Amino acid sequence: MDEAFWEITEDLRRNEAGERYAEALAIYAQGVGARPFRDQVRRVPVGESVSIVTRDGAWITGRVVAVGLDWLRVAESIETEGSARSRVRRHHDVRIDAVVRLVQELQ
């Protein structure tokens, strides 16, 4: 009976260690996967025409007016085509962590 108990305990410890290792890998992969996107959003030059989608589903098309450490200011344009030269409807300050998709217009 003691031997069966220790075998079961050993199996539980191995499973628990494997689960912790898998969780650690998932957390690491999530951090590494998110880092390049945030860096890419920060590197969008001022004046660039973009369309962004935020976590709440808002779709904003306009040009980048300013880029901060953790935020992005987009001047929403009235026209969807040629937004670099169009009139501005309103400005949006968006946290970079809230951006889930960024599309840059081809020049």
Tens digit of each residue's pLDDT (9 = 90 or more) over 70-101: 899 999 877 656 545 567 789 999 999 889 88
Pick the closest to residue 79 from 69, 89, 64 (CA basis). Answer: 89
Higher pLDDT: 102 or 107? It is 102
The answer to whether domain 44-104 has CATH 2.40.50.100 is: no
| Of 103, 101, 63, 60, the residue nearest 82 (C-alpha) | 63
Mean pLDDT of the chain: 80
Dihedral sign for Cα 88, 93, 98, 99, please: positive
pTM over 0.75: no
Tally Cβ neighbours within 10 Å of residue 64. Answer: 21
